[in-house]
Chain A
Amino acid sequence: MKRTLAFVVRGRLRPIGLAILCCGWLAGCATLSRPEGSVLRAREQVSPALVHIRPVKEMFQTGKRTEMLVVGSGFIISPEGYVVTNEHVAGDSTSVQCVLSDNRELDAQVVGTDPDTDIAVLKLQGDGPFPCVKWGRSDSIESGQVALAFGSPHGLSRSVSMGIISMTDRNLDEEDANSAPYNNFIQTDAAINPGNSGGPLVNIRGEVIGVNARMLRGAENVGFAIPADIARAVVEAIIRDGRVRRSYFGFELQEMTARSMDPARRGVLIAGVDRFSPAAEADIRPGDVLIAVNGTPVNARWREDLPAVRRLIADLPVGEPARLTIDRNGEQREVTVTSVEKTAARGKQEAFELWGVSVAEVTQEIARRAQLSRPAGVLVIGVSPGAPAAWAGLQPGDIILTMDGETVDDFSAFRRMYDQRLQENRRQIMLFVQRGALTRFVLINLEQTSTEQEETRGHE
């Protein structure tokens, strides 16, 4: 339902679409006359710092390495040329080309990305100083106030649209890949389209109050921006460390009202505890209520309250013991838990083209979803049609556990074992894979397929 805004370059807009957009614009002109002065001033402040971003993304989903050109937006935040955009725009990219407002084309280097908040930081490769925007505060915004969205909707660079803030803290956390655990979103009716991703949402004073990131597919004028306060903290961490370090205890949180509307109950509900996590070792259980962290009370009565609590916990120093106050059936207890660093949900990916299979690292998150007791093996994410892996019946979602009877410990072990077989010119490779709850033997046969392929070619 939700859709993020990287715009995939496919073809030109058809004239008919453009014509309709023009008409709409003409009709809208008259209503803009009154606040025009302030809008123009805001635009003058932001426009010079706007960046049209064209990353080339690397993808491995098909058993082959492929590249895809996407278009997004961004904005310069410092004279040295640091640019803020979305992770879904600049993540996994092999090169990033930026076009500045004065039409200068510059390459940029990816300084770091944070998939959990969908923020990426780039550094322009060119001579500064660069014009930059001014950060505003997102904690003082109100719904109803004017908001301007800047960026490249559908690849149309240097566009600005206007609306108001429709809602200040919309919770869009879902249990899928689009989860946004650490932030609510600013909802706006300023037009946001694919391609606006990473562009700034600005108040009437020309200050950045959010980073445009999402829209609702099928809806009109329902766009979402990551609040500036959260984006800014992440950006600073990325510039400082190259990434965001977060503490992880291994419990999932839910709002108190998921269990009861009783207003007397305060705290945060523990919804689930990962096996083999620090929380599980400390005997924290689902249904417990977390009421304080290092003596600081925490409270999440509603869903919207969860991101702040998660941030408080994530920001605890990694590897240091924390004192958690837990309420279990009305009885309070203190437990000391030492956090570990939260690992990325998505790890390395690579295509192994001789076999026609792309695999991904089995991260903690993937292991948890696949109900493995611990990360092991590699995850098949793509199989090239007609390739030996496809002939052998390997399927996306399979987890390769052993190769020729030898345990595949992790991603680098898989790569090493693959390379070794390539060098030795081994033609038959036996894999043992996990598929859902079952396991299976899969024989990659490089002989058979090559003859089959030749036969196919013979027919052409």
Chain B
Amino acid sequence: MSKPCCRLRPVLPAVLGVLLLLPGLGRPAGADEIPSQVIRQAFSKWSSSLCLVMFSQELTDPRSGETRRREGTALGLLVRSDGLVITHGHLQTDTSRITDARVRIDSGNTPGELPAVVLGKPDELNLLFLQIQAPEGTAFPAVSFSDVPLQLGDPVLILGRMSESVDYAPGVTLDYIASVVDTPRTAYCLGGGLKMGFLSGPVLNARGEVVGVTGLEMSEEEGGGLYSRSGVPMVFQTALLAPCISAPPRPGGSAEPKPAGEEAWLGVFTQPLKPEFAAYWGLSEPGGLIVSTVVPDSPAAQAGIRPGDIIKSFDGKPQRATQDREVLNFSRLVRDTGPGKTVRIELLRDGQPMSLDVTLSTRPQSAQDAEEYEEDVLGLTVRELTRDIRIALNIAEDVQGVIVRRVASGSPAQAAKMRPGVIIMSVGEQTVTSIEEYRQAIEHLRAARPDEVPLFARLGSATGFFRVRPRW
């Protein structure tokens, strides 16, 4: 019997399936506007930057926790001469992980297959960064980008690779900017369908300048949140890419904590003050940021900011957001302000202007760079409960533990019906509040070799025990 009123279970991250896009329905509108000569020139100039990423992938079913492996290939694009490569982001998600990556390069000075390290994905771009492992000083034929804006209707040329049946031969396809979407941030949608081999391919304008790469937006479950527009291929423009290329993500799962003092944090979620909201509250003009959520114990909470406050100015900079995408600008502004800095916030509370001084703190670790630990005693890969995981899964602040990310196929944990999303709060008699304590608990088990170990855990709002029998 379905009782939809009771469906309040935490939303498990949906599997972000590999999206196969159908070829375009008709001839792209602007196709004729790029002369064949430009196409051939662009191809000969940049096709050597197109490499092939070959990988083993581990896919986890978020419900059953079962893991299967597959081998795959994807288009890679050399974006820096030291061997920095980008490929499409859905290869690495909450439920899929690249375990072994190699990059095949066909031309240039270093043809052949080279090992590569997965660096990870930046917070806002659904692109996966890899670093080719090559001797110091090796120069790769990287593509160079031009920061030229795109407009609705612009014809674009996309470079990529054909299917396996023609040994991934480099090729071109033509498309056009079919739509410019303003919310939640400016995004350029392509008109035709894109074949897989053209995802993360360089996008060139009619003058042959590389203005961005193709990609798909992140899913909401993945923390894409505001940026979610799944399915439609987009152009990630140079302006978005350039900062990530100069400072690529650090490899995930490293024990090293993210260096402090990089990005500032206020601890609010906001909505734009749209005209109809301003009219409702009887405010003379729209524009500003409505505080919708204040994160407990954040700088905002300590400064006394409340939901419903309208931020009109931050650190002397007036805030006039009336559109959802402008909220993102505010987030960037806060991040770039510098942790430890005390800023003045002008706001409206119940229509009355007031100002508050807030000392920003450091942005908490995000799910993307949360520490991960994989062990072979129970067969679990666990992660820290970062603040964004807490928010995504609605986990209260007083719940301490580590969260299961993967359950190894055939493992003792799988036999005990453990699954991703379970929060482990104790292992045997030992309370677990961090990765380090989990690691110690596992080491303890390894030494004591018990026949069975009870785990105390939480899933959603319920708690309970799992009895796991390690195989020694």
Q: How far is the CA of A261 from the CA of B450 in the complex (A)?
A: 12
Please state if A177 and B6 are interface contacts (CB–CB under 8 Å): yes
Please state if A349 and B5 are interface contacts (CB–CB under 8 Å): yes
Contacts of A437 in B (CB 8 A): 293, 390-395
* Interface 1/0 per residue, B272-316 and A, CB below 8 Å: 000011011100000000101100000000000001100000000
Q: How far is the CA of A445 from the CA of B275 in the complex (A)?
A: 12
Q: Judge if B87 is at the interface, Cβ distance under 8 Å.
A: no
Contacts of B465 in A (CB 8 A): 254, 258-259, 269, 271, 287
Q: Smallest distance from the beta carbon of B58 to chain A beta carbons, Å? A: 26
Please state if B6 and A259 are interface contacts (CB–CB under 8 Å): no
With CB as the reference atom, state the residue of chain B lying closest to A271. B464
Q: Judge if A360 is at the interface, Cβ distance under 8 Å.
A: yes
Please state if B391 and A432 are interface contacts (CB–CB under 8 Å): no
Contacts of A290 in B (CB 8 A): none
Contact segment of B133-141, B145-153, B209-217, B454-462: B454-462
With CB as the reference atom, state the residue of chain A lying closest to B274. A443
Please state if B462 and A177 are interface contacts (CB–CB under 8 Å): no
The dominant DSSP class at the B interface is mixed
Please state if B464 and A252 are interface contacts (CB–CB under 8 Å): yes
Please state if B9 and A366 are interface contacts (CB–CB under 8 Å): no
With CB as the reference atom, state the residue of chain A lying closest to B271. A441
* Interface 1/0 per residue, B210-248 and A, CB below 8 Å: 000000000000000000000000000000000000000
By CB atoms of chain B within 10 A, which of A254, A259, A379, A396 has the most?
Answer: A259
Contacts of A370 in B (CB 8 A): 8, 394, 461
Please state if A440 and B292 are interface contacts (CB–CB under 8 Å): yes
Contacts of B3 in A (CB 8 A): 177, 345-346
Contacts of A178 in B (CB 8 A): 1
Q: Judge if B109 is at the interface, Cβ distance under 8 Å.
A: no
Q: Judge if A105 is at the interface, Cβ distance under 8 Å.
A: no
Q: Judge if B440 is at the interface, Cβ distance under 8 Å.
A: no
Q: Judge if A365 is at the interface, Cβ distance under 8 Å.
A: yes
With CB as the reference atom, state the residue of chain A lying closest to B460. A369
Chain B: residues with Cβ within 8 Å of the partner, total of 41
Please state if B462 and A346 are interface contacts (CB–CB under 8 Å): no
Please state if B5 and A379 are interface contacts (CB–CB under 8 Å): yes
By CB atoms of chain B within 10 A, which of A258, A286, A441 has the most?
Answer: A441
Contacts of B182 in A (CB 8 A): none
Tell me the A367-409 residues at the B interface (CB within 8 Å). 368-371, 379, 381-382, 396-397
Contacts of B11 in A (CB 8 A): 436
Q: Smallest distance from the beta carbon of B441 to chain A beta carbons, Å? A: 16
Contacts of A175 in B (CB 8 A): 459-460, 462
Please state if B276 and A286 are interface contacts (CB–CB under 8 Å): no
Q: How far is the CA of A327 from the CA of B63 in the complex (A)?
A: 34
With CB as the reference atom, state the residue of chain A lying closest to B269. A438
By CB atoms of chain A within 10 A, which of B2, B5, B6 has the most?
Answer: B5
Please state if A260 and B293 are interface contacts (CB–CB under 8 Å): no
Q: Smallest distance from the beta carbon of A329 to chain B beta carbons, Å? A: 9
* Interface 1/0 per residue, B441-471 and A, CB below 8 Å: 0000000000010101001111111110000
Please state if A371 and B396 are interface contacts (CB–CB under 8 Å): yes
Q: Judge if B70 is at the interface, Cβ distance under 8 Å.
A: no
Please state if A397 and B467 are interface contacts (CB–CB under 8 Å): no
Please state if A445 and B276 are interface contacts (CB–CB under 8 Å): yes
Please state if B464 and A258 are interface contacts (CB–CB under 8 Å): yes
Q: Smallest distance from the beta carbon of A291 to chain B beta carbons, Å? A: 17
Q: Pick from A176, A345, A371, A382: contact of B461, CB below 8 A.
A: A371
With CB as the reference atom, state the residue of chain B lying closest to A91. B1
Q: How far is the CA of A179 from the CA of B6 in the complex (A)?
A: 12
Please state if B293 and A369 are interface contacts (CB–CB under 8 Å): no
Please state if A369 and B277 are interface contacts (CB–CB under 8 Å): no
Contacts of A438 in B (CB 8 A): 269, 292-293, 391
Contacts of A191 in B (CB 8 A): none
Q: How far is the CA of A371 from the CA of B6 in the complex (A)?
A: 13
Contacts of B454 in A (CB 8 A): 258-260
Q: Pick from B277, B279, B392, B459: contact of A441, CB below 8 A.
A: B277
Q: Pick from B293, B396, B467: contact of A258, CB below 8 A.
A: B467
Q: Judge if A85 is at the interface, Cβ distance under 8 Å.
A: no
Q: Judge if A4 is at the interface, Cβ distance under 8 Å.
A: yes
Please state if A257 and B280 are interface contacts (CB–CB under 8 Å): no
Q: How far is the CA of A445 from the CA of B279 in the complex (A)?
A: 11
Please state if B6 and A287 are interface contacts (CB–CB under 8 Å): no
Q: Smallest distance from the beta carbon of B42 to chain A beta carbons, Å? A: 43
Q: How far is the CA of A257 from the CA of B11 in the complex (A)?
A: 29
Contacts of A252 in B (CB 8 A): 462-464
Q: Smallest distance from the beta carbon of A391 to chain B beta carbons, Å? A: 11
With CB as the reference atom, state the residue of chain A lying closest to B398. A275
Q: Smallest distance from the beta carbon of A328 to chain B beta carbons, Å? A: 13
Please state if B7 and A177 are interface contacts (CB–CB under 8 Å): yes
Contacts of B395 in A (CB 8 A): 437
Q: Judge if A242 is at the interface, Cβ distance under 8 Å.
A: no
Q: Judge if B410 is at the interface, Cβ distance under 8 Å.
A: no
With CB as the reference atom, state the residue of chain B lying closest to A59. B4
Contacts of A301 in B (CB 8 A): none
Using A254-B465, A260-B467 as known contacts, say yes or no to A366 and B6 having CB atoms under 8 A apart.
yes
With CB as the reference atom, state the residue of chain B lying closest to A86. B1
Q: Judge if A448 is at the interface, Cβ distance under 8 Å.
A: yes
Q: How far is the CA of A254 from the CA of B462 in the complex (A)?
A: 12
Using A286-B456, A441-B308 as known contacts, say yes or no to A258 and B277 having CB atoms under 8 A apart.
no
| Known interface pairs A6-B1, A118-B1, A436-B11; 16 further A-B residue pairs with C-beta atoms within 8 A, sorted by A's residue number | A61-B4, A175-B460, A177-B7, A252-B463, A260-B454, A271-B462, A271-B464, A287-B465, A369-B461, A370-B394, A428-B279, A437-B293, A439-B269, A440-B292, A441-B271, A441-B308
Closest 10 CB pairs of A and B: A272-B463, A369-B8, A271-B464, A88-B1, A259-B454, A177-B3, A437-B394, A258-B465, A360-B5, A4-B1
25 contacts between A and B (CB under 8 A): A4-B1, A118-B1, A175-B460, A178-B1, A258-B465, A259-B454, A271-B464, A287-B465, A345-B6, A346-B3, A346-B6, A349-B5, A365-B6, A369-B8, A369-B460, A370-B8, A371-B396, A397-B7, A437-B394, A437-B395, A438-B292, A438-B391, A439-B293, A443-B276, A448-B276
Which B residues contact A (CB, under 8 angstroms)? 1-9, 11, 269, 271, 276-277, 279-281, 290, 292-293, 307-308, 390-396, 452, 454, 456, 459-467
